[in-house]
Structure 1
Amino acid sequence: MSYRVFESSSIAKDYALYRPSIPDDVTDAIIGKLKLQKSDDHESLVVDIGCGSGQFTQSLARHFDRAIGYDISVAQIDEARSQNQRKNFVLQNRALLYWLSNYKSYSIIISEYLLFPTLYRISSAEKIPLESKTVDVVAVSQAAHWFDFSAFCLEADRVLRPGGHVVIVSTIRKTLHHDDPVMETKINECNDRYMSILDTYRLVSHDDLDKFYINLKSHYPETIRETIGVNVQYSPVDYLNLTKTMSYSFKYKQNNPDGNLFEKFQKSLEDVMETGGGATDGRFRVTFWHDISIGQKGIS
């Protein structure tokens, strides 16, 4: 992971609050495309690399016995642990687990993986701290552009079981929508005006999506790719909070510590909503396009 943008605890909290997570129905659609087979020999394991505050990890975890999220940022891992939904079994059943642990026949199952079926750990993408051929799915959401992608692919291949999958999800924010066509035009004009400034601070390009697919396909020739669109409602305030979590926004603020672009951006959006007859908390739709590439390791 070449860039260390999301390091502070406040940034990690904002990331968890305002970044759109991969919806469960999108995760379900991804899982539906994987040729997963339950085994009596081992528990199923998914790892989420560059997991951030763990939203995608939690969504994936519903389909596996165990899930591990890895990120290079200590602050992001701390936030993911605080949001961990699958740790509640322990908190609610400590007395039962203590009682079971006194019985030899049960003590073997009182392990970290039973107590915390979803774990979060600090790690880079290029050196995953797991034994070879132990993982069913290696997943990445909105983080692959930070990796040494060739090194990541080799490491993912190492930890995958035969027949395992690599899933790369990258999200592009597309046009903004409104039921009133005139309002939609005005909202997009406002958005384009300010995004044209922020775009000059992008650390990565959306052209990288093609590179991910081509690189993954070089490892797994049967790699498939598709795009799923999801609509999310935003108010001007929510939309600006989202925008401020993007890496190009951090770069802008580093270069313009006294700049007021975000305040002006929000005010302009609110003015557009008001002139259209709506209140400042009026909402518009944003379409998020999830670009998904799936590769499968050979059986042999």
Structure 2
Amino acid sequence: MAAKLYDTQAKEYRDIRPSYPPELFQFIASKTPIHDLAWDAGAGNGQATLSLAGIYKNVIATDTSQNQLHLAPDLPNVRYQQTTPLMTEAELHHNVATQSSVDVVTVAQALHWFDISAFFQQAKWVLKKPQGVIAAWCYTAPEVNESVDSVFNGYYLESKPYWDPARNILDDKYRSIDFPFMPVDGEVHTGPFKFKTEKLLALDDYFAYLRSSSGYQMPRKKGVELLRSDVIEDFERAWNEDGNAHKIATFPIYLRIGKVGNPN
């Protein structure tokens, strides 16, 4: 479901989704002693790839959606590769990297759509031992102000019965994921560690974000329109309450990070 959703909405996703803060990448980079090679899995249009390319010597960015990858920035040290959702070791070797050669594997706002257990095995295969790092993060709903968020909460609750079960992993801020990795150096657990990013939005941008999300698209595919005229009016009333046409939306980010450790 996710692949089809983000494949058909590639441009909208690129234009309206938030970027990630430098602090997030600085934290991840501080846990990887060598910065030679990064694998950005589920890279989409390269929102995380761009920052990784400024830190790591080479980046391989993969996604199942070629439409998304076509919108990614052209960077001299990045190789983009369309892949299937599940890869054999031979395909990993050919399309991603050789065994035990990757310094960090990152997954931005995508892990909940993966076959998580199978992907973790792929990450362990490509990561260097024992210091190779995996970092997966998600962000949750934008926080605007009390009035807008109150309307959003009702809208959000109405969408939940229509969710794909994977969407619940995101809603739980990745806490429920069985994360079979060791804490990175200097930490006593694998997270989630909290960060935040901000984006200046007009009301039309806010609606575009809502429509780009799986929480809206899933009900719509079942014939349920969540942004009905009455709901839109409630959002408009709340948005215009303070007289400011543009507002800063804060997106909380939750990071799980660990290292592969010694091979079993």
TM class, shorter-length: 0.7 to 0.9
Q: 2:159 aligns with which of 194, 198, 202?
A: 198
The one-letter amino acid of 1:194's match is: Y
Identical residues among aligned pairs (%): 24
Q: CA deviation at 1:63?
A: 0.4
Aligned to 2:44: 52
The number of residues matched between the two structures is 246
Q: Is 1:166 paired with 2:134?
A: yes
Within 1, Cα distance between the matches of 2:102 and 2:242? 54
Aligned to 2:61: 69
The one-letter amino acid of 2:53's match is: A
Flag the 1:119–1:35 CA change in 2: closer, same or farther, 3 A.
Answer: closer
SS at match of 2:140: strand
Q: 1:296 aligns with which of 254, 259, 263?
A: 259
**Which ranges of structure 1 fall in alignment gaps of 5 or more residues?**
39-43, 87-115, 178-183
Flag the 1:35–1:48 CA change in 2: closer, same or farther, 3 A.
Answer: closer
The one-letter amino acid of 2:134's match is: V
TM-score by length of 1: 0.73
Matches within 5 A, 1:177-192: 177=145, 184=146, 186-192=147-153
CA RMSD of aligned residues (A): 2.4
SS at match of 1:5: helix
Aligned to 1:220: 182
Q: CA deviation at 1:264?
A: 4.9
Q: Which of the two has higher C-alpha Rg?
A: 1
Flag the 1:209–1:170 CA change in 2: closer, same or farther, 3 A.
Answer: same
Within 2, Cα distance between the matches of 1:58 and 1:234? 22
Q: CA deviation at 1:75?
A: 1.4
Q: CA deviation at 1:255?
A: 1.8
Q: CA deviation at 1:61?
A: 1.1
Aligned to 2:32: 35
Aligned to 1:93: none
Q: In the TM superposition, what whole-angstrom CA distance separates every residue of 1:258-285 from its partner, at most 9, and x where no partner exists?
A: x4726654443222233x2515x242x4
Aligned to 2:79: 119
Flag the 1:260–1:156 CA change in 2: closer, same or farther, 3 A.
Answer: closer
**Which ranges of structure 2 fall in alignment gaps of 5 or more residues?**
none
Q: 1:12 aligns with which of 1, 10, 13?
A: 10
Within 2, Cα distance between the matches of 1:277 and 1:63? 41
Which structure shows the higher helix fraction?
A: 1
Aligned to 2:175: 210
Q: CA deviation at 1:122?
A: 0.7
Within 1, Cα distance between the matches of 2:38 and 2:136? 13
Aligned to 1:110: none
Flag the 1:208–1:260 CA change in 2: closer, same or farther, 3 A.
Answer: closer
Flag the 1:124–1:221 CA change in 2: closer, same or farther, 3 A.
Answer: farther
Within 2, Cα distance between the matches of 1:167 and 1:124? 21
